[in-house]
Structure 1
Amino acid sequence: MTSVLKILESLDCVDGLEVSKLERSLKITKKIDKDNLNVAIKALTKLGIVQTIIDDKLTINNDRDFLRGRVRCSSKGYCFVVREDQGEDIYIREGNLNNAWHGDSVIVLITKQGVRRRAPEGKIQCVLKRYNETLLAKVEPDKSTGELKAYPLDDRIPATIELEDEIETNKKYPDKDLIHEIKITKYPIAQFNAKGSIVRELSINSGVEGDIELLLSKNYISKSLVAPKVAPKKISSKGRSDLTAQPSLLFESWESTNSPSLPGLYAQPYEGGNRIWVHAPTISERINLGGKLDRYLRDKGEVICLGNNWLEFLNESLRSASQFKINKECEAISLMIDINADGNITDWKFTLSIIKPVKIITPKHLIAINNRKATSKSVPIALKGIKDNLEVLYTLLHSAKIINNMNNISIKLDEYIPKLERLSELSKTFPGRDFNGWSKTYDCCDPQSLIDIYIRLSNNILSKHLIGYRLPFIYKEHEEIDQSSINELTKSALALDKKITVNADGTITSSELIKSFESSTEKKILQKLVKHIIPGVNLKLYEINTPEDISYLNYDAAQTNIESPWCCPSLNYWNIFNQFILTLLLSEGKNKPTSRSKQTVELGKNDSWREVDWEIFPSKLKEIIASHSNLRLINNLNEIRKKSKSFRNNIISIAQGREAQKIIGKEVTAIITGVQSYGFFAEIDDLTAEGLVHVSTLGDDWYEYRSRQNLLVGRKSKKTYQLSQKINVRVLKVDILKNQIDLELVNDTETETINTINVESDNDD
């Protein structure tokens, strides 16, 4: 389906384009499609978005103050456009939505400038690209006509969809356990509703696989994206460092046969410290930037964990070609890191290499090491197979502890995921990924937790290296926690644990506060409160417009404390994009000022950029890189990240809901995890499923909320409900679609009905 976005991308050239060439660019051959294109061009011209120039060529009209962005709506009907240029969000009144839906890419015109704290207002001129081609809906009769229509489950899309296959629908209706996946065939225009057809019926009681299908559809994640029939490029061994003599190790906690591949590691003592090698699988050398495989991976975006299985990111040919294999020579991108005894980096070097991994380290190996006495000379049975590699492994474990204590890039918290078979892969560390703004606390018995330390260190080093060469890259931005939120959290923490100390003026930084929780008896509750106030992580594009002077060479790039992911190309596209920039630097970068110069510079070495006072890339290659380094790419990748984060949270919540269904009618213990004026939240032990006891259901007294103490107090009885208080509840009902549970508070004297509550895990922050 051709979108307005594709039309404008084709017209984004200085000289313009004739209609015939535009048709070829969009691969439009049928008469009906050509007629539709002409209608679109007329509409875009009338809106002033497109204009005709010399020789009837079409081009984008840059004289109008149009802005691009994405629609964001709340369930209460408030809508904004989040600008592509990262400017201030634009408020859109209902009458100015122009039939745009939540998530759509749009062009907006500001109609009223923002004043003081009020956001600017605008009007949507046209929809560039629809976010939803399919959606989940309930099929119900129209109240006035009785005709069956589809109503989206997502309450941010308050639309009515007319069904084109109503006769088929009537055969199944009514069935409250059925949800329908609707394909939109016509989007709403003027006074006409959207039209759609039923793609499939999804039962809410179809087991684990049914739950997965339901959530994939709910989060608009497609399983049907077809990989292009393009073979990966073969990589030449010429110019690559031969590191096959290194007995490098692979680290695996995931057990599924289709789990993503991860980097290899090697370590050895060096000058009083250690020399670490990180070997990453190479994808960027196997595909062309902007080619078919690149576009396929860019659209797919990221690997998705289905709980105990995976929706793969790489196609089979790329996966097979790039995955490290034991005792096989494999192409890699390697990073050598020298660290001293204190864990400080003293040197590094990137290189294209060939490696030969010798062993896979699994949790059983690390558990055996953790249980082994320091003075023991005998080797446990679990370690017999890696006896010759223990020195390397111990060196890696020792360095990881030191590096972890020094690394303050991300907040580290404990993760609580129910120990269920359907969530077995989710419970393992996901290296380099911060789904909710924080990373999992280091676990010395989890191989992927170990490798996560080195991945984050390597990401940080790449950012410094590319900043030195003034090259673009994608990095992760950890937003600062709002100080007012920290102050409120501090109040709650002090009410729970008097041993927590603050500064003389009563203030404390987020890092100091979180560190103080480690020794608290209420650590789990306090960390849960922290997770609610941590902002998300966004991808950003680092770019520098080269000035005339080159004084930048004197600045210290070592001060940069950001992550530029590149080690795990089997996980997501931003790793691959950064690999493109790195491998182009190592393979295509100009390492001497002229062809006659005898002295060359190793472009992968630390501080090598200080020796370079010439253009690294030829102008044509710079143009190619620039054309693929843009905000639109970053915005699309951030949207993909939001989908995968939402799916991850949903898959945990639905698993909790299914477990809660098994204990309906049973009495279980719970702990209060949050108190508000309208009631208190309680988490069921073992399930980590959280629920709300509404204040109106506490019929024994009239309860008041005291914000300073963060508790509910009965006027007559003076009974209190506060954080970390244990209570008994009974599970009454579970609503899987809404991730909701009904509970009943169990007392010695009476039973109180509890209102509908949300099923959450600590990943729902």
Structure 2
Amino acid sequence: MTDSNENAPQYEVEIPSREALLALVDERLKPVHIDDFISHFKLDDERQLVGLKRRLRAMERDGQLVYTRANCYGLPDRMQLIRGRIIGHRDGFGFCKPDDGGKDIFIPHHQMYSVLHGDIVLIKPAGTDNRGRPEGRVVRVVEPRDSDIVGRYFVENDIGIVVPDDSRISQDILIPHADNAGARHGQLVVVTITRRPNRRTSPIGKISEVLGDHMAPGMEIEIAMREHDIPNEWPDGLDRELAKYDEEVPKEAYEGRIDLRELPLITIDGEDSRDFDDAVCALPEDKGWRLWVAIADVSYYVRPGTLLDDEAVNRGNSVYFPNNVIPMLPEKLSNGLCSLNPNVDRLCMVAEMEIGPRGKLKQSRFYPAVMNSHARLTYNKVKQILDGDVELREQYKDVLSNIEELHNVYKALATVRKQRSAIEFDTQETRFIFNAHRKIERIEPVKRHVAHKIIEECMIAANVASARLVEDDEDINALFRVHEAPADERLTSFRAFLAELGLNLGGGDKPTPTDYGKLLEEVKDRPDHELIETMMLRSMQQAVYQPENEGHFGLALKSYSHFTSPIRRYPDLILHRAIKAILRKREGTEQSLTGAWSYSEKELDDLGVHCSMTERRADDATRQVDEWLKCEFMLDHIGMEFTGVVSSVTNFGLFVRLDEYQIDGLVHISNLGDDYYQYDNQKGMLIGENTRTIYRLGDKVKVSVKTVDLDERKIDLTLLGAESPTGKQRKRNSGKTQRKKSQGKSSRGKGSNRNKPRKGSKNKGNNPS
């Protein structure tokens, strides 16, 4: 009997497999003692006994078995134990997210003493708390978090501690003097836990890296990368794999490819883009168009089973921070061989599509090709060309007809998009403009115009065509981009929000994209339309990658995949390999289809979960950096007045989004005036007991910036006045605040509460409280 897990350790002698051991425990009426395993499987060799004990410990570590106080092994589900991951909360309590899904289980303060955010644990259900939430008791830590902790190092009374930057870790970490790596008071450091916390003692750690001073430029990115476990170092040996590629396309790679070098393909990207993975061309044909979308052939260079591919899987996607990027692929590929730079030959995979006069995708074909980009254009230049800029039209006269036909294709595709009622959000985005010292000089709105939409519609068409290709093949699979309809709970909350504004979402329990589209059309001219769109977006489910096609709700499409960005998204690379496998099966030559790969269902299941996780990880990290930078920017605006809109109502106050910068801050409930305020959860509003003053989502308000806390990434505001969305002024009891003008100098560190360790430490004795 051998272990069926191919990654499991191999033993010199034959021992029972995990499946066999689990089967024995399952058939017994009570937990099994190790002597019972030995007698049942007739193990008499000393090496077999050692191997059995090791395997049982491994199964215990993985949560497959539970070791009881009676020195026996039982099944977790038979013992009513649930395996899951700990999610900490800044207030000291936490939740366990079960591995097999279901509702998160509340873990009270005293149960969090011996665990850390990120631990894999076994918990035993313990009824419900006073709010009706399922509650649990931590039985055992199955797998301690393996990532280091980032925090600030403080010394008080000759005792060193690190206060974690991640607020989900509520325990301070004790640092012996010999293990402080020379860190100075207040510096940011990386800590490795050397002794776990328990009910009586705090965790003890060793500083493995000193990141630097708290306000050093770029420090927010260093923190985010480590807190979210974003890989940012290339593995040893990768240079040797890359050394076989020159700066130019290998001559042997041209064989068997369709030559598109004369086709006027162009790239259209942002002003500061460095990697160009898509090029487009449109020519009129039979009252419609022939549209080419050429995508960098990353699969030719990144082969399964290589160190390069392993690291691409590990990263999952590129992570785009303001003014910085952590790429999925090394620069030699991402900005070199795989980037469709102008006037150089590049390998590509092409979706060639016939678009009807009314924008219908009639048919498509895919093939490997070689191309040469005829121009590198930016979104702004394309808009200016279409607006009639004489100088630019002359400069790009060789590709002018292509640009104009792409515009015509877009208008036809946009008509179809509107007919199928794809949801189109028009929320305001911003970007940071940095000075030479990498400090924010200003925050500008990002204006999305016709050039962005041209590329978006071309990419959607290629993504749809590629999804259909894979869907039609019975043998070869890839990952689809799936966006499910809104879940019941979020939908209920969104409907309650709309009701307070006198609005309604049609469709009953199962609204369609058409229902959402009608609502967006209805509110587009309202002053609070951005807030309504934001709340609508929050009501949606998160899109994921999976091998089962369940359609894309937001785009109102039955089949959708990601084909267009293999430089920065691993699912796109998977799809390219699958398309090559389909083409090779049908008709292609081996040489031009190098990189073809057919994935098993199990591989795709695992990759779908992993790539969805890395995408969320990147989103969380970039959001954290954005919050930090916004707080740092607002340090210079303390005391200044702004107009804004209430973007969220909670039982502890109002979140207000400032109109000028699209930055959120909190008006705490204690600053709302001389009254007691009650929170109405159903209606999402705060109501004054005596004055009957009401605060709700969408209220227009005037506020001043009170304090900024960089460590907590919080902005506190003072309410100066408010009016309802209808414009009717409401009386406030708050006092007047004089506007303070910015001094034009940075007040870096002002308002931060972590210039020293936490007051009233969260340790009771040496215990987290």
Q: Shorter-normalised TM-score: what interval?
A: 0.7 to 0.9
CA distance in 1, matches of 2:111, 2:716: 39
Amino acid at match of 1:291: T
Q: Is the 8 A contact 1:305 1:425 kept in 2?
A: no
**Displacement of 1:481 after TM fit?**
1.7
CA distance in 2, matches of 1:214, 1:247: 44
Q: Is the 8 A contact 1:443 1:450 kept in 2?
A: no
2:30 is the counterpart of 1:13: no
SS at 1:657 equivalent: helix
The CA RMSD over aligned residues, in Å, is 4.7
Mind listing any 5+ residue stretches in structure 1 that lack a counterpart?
Answer: 1-8, 23-37, 52-60, 373-378, 430-440, 545-558, 592-599, 604-615, 758-765
Mind listing any 5+ residue stretches in structure 2 that lack a counterpart?
Answer: 16-48, 63-72, 435-439, 551-555, 722-731, 738-750, 753-769
SS at 2:701 equivalent: strand
**Displacement of 1:156 after TM fit?**
2.9
2:214 is the counterpart of 1:226: no
Q: Is the 8 A contact 1:255 1:425 kept in 2?
A: no
TM-score between the two structures when normalised by the length of structure 1: 0.73
Listed one character per residue, the Cα deviations across residues 504-539 of structure 1 (whole Å, up to 9, x for unaligned) are 989964343234332434212211222332232222
1:473 is aligned to 478
CA distance in 2, matches of 1:49, 1:252: 52
Match of 2:299 among 258, 279, 284: 284
Q: Is the 8 A contact 1:204 1:737 kept in 2?
A: no
CA distance in 2, matches of 1:525, 1:644: 24
CA distance in 1, matches of 2:261, 2:115: 56
**Displacement of 1:634 after TM fit?**
2.9
CA distance in 1, matches of 2:135, 2:179: 47
SS at 1:420 equivalent: strand
Match of 1:417 among 429, 441, 444: 429
2:537 is aligned to 531
Please give the residue correspondences for 1:299-698 in structure 2 after superposition, counting only pairs within 5 Å. Answer: 299-319=314-334, 320-372=336-388, 380-407=390-417, 411-422=423-434, 443-446=449-452, 449-470=453-474, 471-483=476-488, 485-486=490-491, 488-493=493-498, 495-496=500-501, 509-542=515-548, 561-587=558-584, 589=585, 591=586, 625-626=599-600, 629-698=603-672
CA distance in 2, matches of 1:154, 1:469: 46
- Relative to structure 1, the CA distance from residue 46 to residue 487 in structure 2 (aligned partners, 3 Å threshold; closer, same or farther) is closer
Please give the residue correspondences for 1:204-223 in structure 2 after superposition, counting only pairs within 5 Å. Answer: 204-207=214-217, 209-223=218-232
Amino acid at match of 1:316: E
RCO higher in 1 or 2 (8 Å CA, sep ≥ 6)?
2
**Displacement of 1:99 after TM fit?**
6.5
SS at 1:79 equivalent: strand
Amino acid at match of 2:295: A
CA distance in 2, matches of 1:398, 1:170: 64
Listed one character per residue, the Cα deviations across residues 196-252 of structure 1 (whole Å, up to 9, x for unaligned) are 224114433223x23332333333324323361203675622221112221111112
SS at 1:206 equivalent: coil
Q: Is the 8 A contact 2:644 2:703 kept in 1?
A: yes
Amino acid at match of 1:413: F
**Displacement of 1:695 after TM fit?**
3.0
Greater shift after overlay, 690-699 or 348-357? 690-699
Q: Is the 8 A contact 2:678 2:687 kept in 1?
A: yes
SS at 2:430 equivalent: coil
Q: Is the 8 A contact 1:185 1:197 kept in 2?
A: no
2:151 is the counterpart of 1:137: yes
CA distance in 2, matches of 1:492, 1:218: 34
SS at 1:571 equivalent: coil
CA distance in 1, matches of 2:154, 2:8: 52
Amino acid at match of 2:6: C
Q: Is the 8 A contact 1:88 1:119 kept in 2?
A: no
Greater shift after overlay, 503-512 or 147-156? 503-512
SS at 1:172 equivalent: coil
CA distance in 2, matches of 1:694, 1:420: 27
Amino acid at match of 1:457: A
Q: Is the 8 A contact 2:430 2:443 kept in 1?
A: no
- Relative to structure 1, the CA distance from residue 240 to residue 485 in structure 2 (aligned partners, 3 Å threshold; closer, same or farther) is same
- Relative to structure 1, the CA distance from residue 120 to residue 294 in structure 2 (aligned partners, 3 Å threshold; closer, same or farther) is farther
Greater shift after overlay, 725-734 or 245-254? 725-734
Q: Is the 8 A contact 1:703 1:714 kept in 2?
A: yes
Amino acid at match of 1:250: T
1:246 is aligned to 263
- Relative to structure 1, the CA distance from residue 283 to residue 712 in structure 2 (aligned partners, 3 Å threshold; closer, same or farther) is same
Q: Is the 8 A contact 1:204 1:736 kept in 2?
A: no
- Relative to structure 1, the CA distance from residue 577 to residue 171 in structure 2 (aligned partners, 3 Å threshold; closer, same or farther) is closer
Percent identity between matched residues is 16
**Displacement of 1:62 after TM fit?**
14
- Relative to structure 1, the CA distance from residue 729 to residue 49 in structure 2 (aligned partners, 3 Å threshold; closer, same or farther) is closer
Amino acid at match of 2:484: E
Listed one character per residue, the Cα deviations across residues 6-59 of structure 1 (whole Å, up to 9, x for unaligned) are xxx99723998335999xxxxxxxxxxxxxxx99984442464699xxxxxxxx
**Displacement of 1:346 after TM fit?**
0.8
- Relative to structure 1, the CA distance from residue 266 to residue 680 in structure 2 (aligned partners, 3 Å threshold; closer, same or farther) is same
CA distance in 1, matches of 2:442, 2:328: 16
- Relative to structure 1, the CA distance from residue 569 to residue 189 in structure 2 (aligned partners, 3 Å threshold; closer, same or farther) is farther
**Displacement of 1:501 after TM fit?**
6.4
Amino acid at match of 1:522: D
CA distance in 1, matches of 2:302, 2:720: 61
TM-score between the two structures when normalised by the length of structure 2: 0.72
SS at 1:696 equivalent: helix
- Relative to structure 1, the CA distance from residue 398 to residue 517 in structure 2 (aligned partners, 3 Å threshold; closer, same or farther) is farther
CA distance in 1, matches of 2:270, 2:677: 48
Greater shift after overlay, 191-200 or 39-48? 39-48
2:56 is the counterpart of 1:45: yes
- Relative to structure 1, the CA distance from residue 236 to residue 198 in structure 2 (aligned partners, 3 Å threshold; closer, same or farther) is closer
Greater shift after overlay, 564-573 or 696-705? 696-705
Q: Is the 8 A contact 2:86 2:94 kept in 1?
A: no
Listed one character per residue, the Cα deviations across residues 372-392 of structure 1 (whole Å, up to 9, x for unaligned) are 3xxxxxx61122221132221
- Relative to structure 1, the CA distance from residue 180 to residue 504 in structure 2 (aligned partners, 3 Å threshold; closer, same or farther) is closer
Amino acid at match of 1:200: V
CA distance in 1, matches of 2:166, 2:235: 27
Q: Is the 8 A contact 1:48 1:64 kept in 2?
A: no
Please give the residue correspondences for 1:104-253 in structure 2 after superposition, counting only pairs within 5 Å. Answer: 104=119, 106=120, 127=142, 130-132=145-147, 134-140=148-154, 147-159=159-171, 161-166=173-178, 168=180, 172-173=184-185, 175=186, 178-184=187-193, 193=203, 195-207=205-217, 209-226=218-235, 228-229=238-239, 230-231=241-242, 234=250, 236-253=253-270
Amino acid at match of 1:416: Q
Q: Is the 8 A contact 1:679 1:693 kept in 2?
A: yes
Q: Is the 8 A contact 1:352 1:586 kept in 2?
A: no
Q: Is the 8 A contact 1:267 1:275 kept in 2?
A: yes
CA distance in 1, matches of 2:122, 2:310: 27
SS at 1:514 equivalent: helix
SS at 2:295 equivalent: strand
Greater shift after overlay, 668-677 or 185-194? 185-194
**Displacement of 1:677 after TM fit?**
4.8
- Relative to structure 1, the CA distance from residue 108 to residue 308 in structure 2 (aligned partners, 3 Å threshold; closer, same or farther) is same
Match of 1:699 among 650, 659, 673: 673
**Displacement of 1:294 after TM fit?**
0.6
Q: Is the 8 A contact 1:304 1:310 kept in 2?
A: yes
